[in-house]
Amino acid sequence: MNFIISFIITFVIFAILDVSWITFNYNYYTTLCKRIQKEPFIPKLPAAMIAYIILGIGLFLYLKFILHENKKRNYLKTILYGFLFGLVIYGTYSFTCCTYYKNYGYYDAIIDTTWGILLFIISGTIFISIYK
């Protein structure tokens, strides 16, 4: 399978996993939102779509990096790179929220960062499994 098709499949799985995580933890996120902004959670679909486009760009660059740095498609290296990329993307977002919002705690930042790390590890592993 070529890179673009493998990327698209990986991105669709990435988005499904992320939306599933948010859906599964919906009560947590709505409670967190109400705790932070003192109002009910009302998602903005256009902003969410822009966020996924940006995440898609990041995923694309991450997968290109995996291919360049991991020519033998070593799963251990893929896990390491996924860990680091998820830490950078989700950790930056989460700990910035922790900085800006009084009621966004370290626990919230750690949970979200951990999810981002797992999401990129899973996505990278799926990608190198299907890319030929």
Question: What's the pLDDT at 94?
Answer: 96
Question: What's the pLDDT at 101?
Answer: 92
**Cα Rg of the chain, angstroms:** 16
What are the sequence ranges of the domains in the chain?
3-130
Residue for token digits 């967190």?
A: 32
Question: What's the pLDDT at 84?
Answer: 95
- Which strand (E) or helix (H) includes residue 82? helix 75-100
- The pTM is what? 0.89
Counting as low any pLDDT under 70, the low residues of the chain are none
Give whole-number Cα distances, 36 to 46, 88, 125, in Å: 21, 23, 35
Question: What's the pLDDT at 28?
Answer: 93
Question: What's the pLDDT at 56?
Answer: 95
* Neighbour-count burial of 93, counting CB atoms closer than 10 A to its CB (0-12 exposed, 13-18 middle, 19+ buried): middle
